Chains A and B, each alone.
Chain A
Amino acid sequence: MTETAALLSVDGLVAGYRPGLPIVQDLSIRLDAGEIVTIIGPNGAGKSTVIKAIAGLVRIEAGRIRIGGQDMTGTRPDRLAQLGVAYVPQTANVFTTLTIGENLALAARRCQANAAERVIAMTDLFPVLAEKRSVRASGLSGGQRQLLAIAMALIAEPSVMLMDEPTAGLAPKAAEEVMTLVRQIAADGVGILLVEQNARLALRLSDRAYILADGRNQHEGPAATLLDDPLVGEIYLGGRRKGAA
């Protein structure tokens, strides 16, 4: 019996910003449709570099990235975006000099024939964006910017969504709303690979998780198991070892 090809599979990834200085080393990840997978780890572990490499923004020195079984290693970011890989960066995730309508229209270029319909679909999904359509994105609050960034990612109906700390800098209520939205997106069959500093929140939301340190996989498993693992709790979730002073 053959194993079904993963929606996204990363095998032995070595990647970094400068040749010969890899930040991510021998990393392997699997993501299936409708699944939420989180990468957690300390600052500087290379979490953001992993998803940037998958999005085609960081140079890959070794390893393979496959989408739906097809080798996409080294594919340009704009081609990946057209092939259904959406990336929501942590900061600078919308074009602040463009209006909300222009941001959405730009993102909808990938949809070609039904671009106008997709823009309407997104403004229906996020009414706050419809109200402020002609406002420059620089005038949005942090939470509204995040919604716009997610709308720009969703507009082309991606199969894989890469999200870099979607709740960073958001008020708790806005963070909770974003996480609810992430759950809904996954429920629609989109595979979501999430990097999150707020590890407890992310693990509660996720199906599985990878723990990264020094650019390598340290642990992986079901999110619930990792959340209850005392060692993981002590090192990565800010917990304390029993009996410690």
Chain B
Amino acid sequence: MIQALFDGVLVGSVLSLGAIGLTLVMHILRFANFSHAELLTIGAYAALTFDAFFSVLAPPLAAGIGPLSMTLALIAAMVLAMGVTALSAIVIDRLIFRRLRQQAGPLTMVFASFGVALIVRNLISLGFGLHTQRYTDEIAFAVVVSTDPFLLVKPDQVVVLVLALSAMAALYLLLTRTTLGFALRAVAENPELAQVNGVSLPATVRLTWIIGGVLAAAAGVLFAIDSQLSPVMGRDLVLSLFAAAIVGGLGSVTGAMLGGMIVGLASSFALLVMPAGYKPAIPFLIILATLYIRPHGLFGEAR
């Protein structure tokens, strides 16, 4: 039970990171972006590339840190991958979504996002191959933290959890303690009023993509550290991200954090009572239950 709880929180924290970006984009840019999960893939593969570069250019960085399988090279690569993913998000917006925002409705943008997802997924497959990859072939042995109840934890998982929670805390502080955060929340609520109060809409849109991209890259890398990289990891995660955003309530960052945890925990606990093959159905069930019981989610506002 305690093992399922830990695993659920771990997966949930990573899902929360991805869901926060998704919910921000959905609320501020007012469309369901089905290509958001591909930003996780971009981030994960960008980190793989930079990690390889650093490992060649500065071999000392490629040594493991204590009991961790991750290296300083990977941490530096993750930081650069955040930048690359944020830039990718802005470029995709410039090339596709911005034009559609000016000329078409939200439904067109949703369809376009499916197209973007396909393009990104296939470009990554072309560049990196269809096979799964890992950041390191080092085996990180799990440590028995407790025997009764039994709890097995890999040191990497602790780092993943700490990094994910730190990123969420930083974003929460940005949104609730800075005028930049107030501006983001203001644009999400009423873009016209925000503009007449001096908030630049183009700058806010850019900032939204940057935050979404940075968090998606972090989520992608942290997910791949605990699991593995695959060109279809975005496709596999998209439903869970949407479930997290919907449970939390569209537009609510706090909701996305909690939604991610709920989806992660539900998927983890489901393994205790049903075969693993049914696990992908859990986000579906969560979305259905939320839409039936509380359509605006836990923290979303009823419209």
Residue in A closest to B200 when the chains form the complex, CB atoms? A78
Q: Judging by beta carbons under 8 Å apart, are A106 and B183 in contact?
A: yes
Chosen A-B contacts, 18 in total, with CB atoms closer than 8 Å, are: A55-B196, A57-B192, A77-B195, A81-B198, A82-B198, A89-B196, A92-B193, A95-B186, A95-B194, A97-B301, A98-B189, A102-B182, A106-B186, A107-B197, A108-B179, A109-B183, A115-B179, A152-B197
Q: Judging by beta carbons under 8 Å apart, are B192 and A106 in contact?
A: no
**A135-179 interface code vs B (CB 8 A; 1 in, 0 out):** 000000000000000001000100000000000000000000000
In the bound assembly, the distance between CA atoms of A94 and B188 in angstroms comes to 13
Contact of A76 among B185, B190, B200 (CB under 8 A): B200
Q: Which residue, A56, A102, A108, A115, has most C-beta atoms of chain B within 10 A?
A: A102
Contact of A98 among B182, B192, B196, B200 (CB under 8 A): B182
Q: Judging by beta carbons under 8 Å apart, are B195 and A106 in contact?
A: no
Does B201 touch A at the CB level, under 8 Å? Answer: yes
In the bound assembly, the distance between CA atoms of A67 and B276 in angstroms comes to 67
Does B282 touch A at the CB level, under 8 Å? Answer: no
Q: Which residue, A78, A89, A108, has most C-beta atoms of chain B within 10 A?
A: A78
Count of chain B residues with a beta carbon within 8 Å of a chain A beta carbon: 19
Q: Judging by beta carbons under 8 Å apart, are B195 and A95 in contact?
A: no
Those of B159-195 within 8 Å (CB) of chain A: 179, 182-183, 185-186, 188-190, 192-195
For the complex of A and B, list the 8 residue pairs with the smallest distance between their C-beta atoms, beginning with the closest: A77-B195, A110-B198, A81-B198, A106-B182, A87-B196, A78-B200, A107-B197, A102-B182
Contacts of B196 in A (CB 8 A): 55-57, 77-78, 80-81, 86-87, 89
In the bound assembly, the distance between CA atoms of A156 and B193 in angstroms comes to 15
In the bound assembly, the distance between CA atoms of A209 and B9 in angstroms comes to 64
Does A93 touch B at the CB level, under 8 Å? Answer: yes
Contacts of A87 in B (CB 8 A): 196
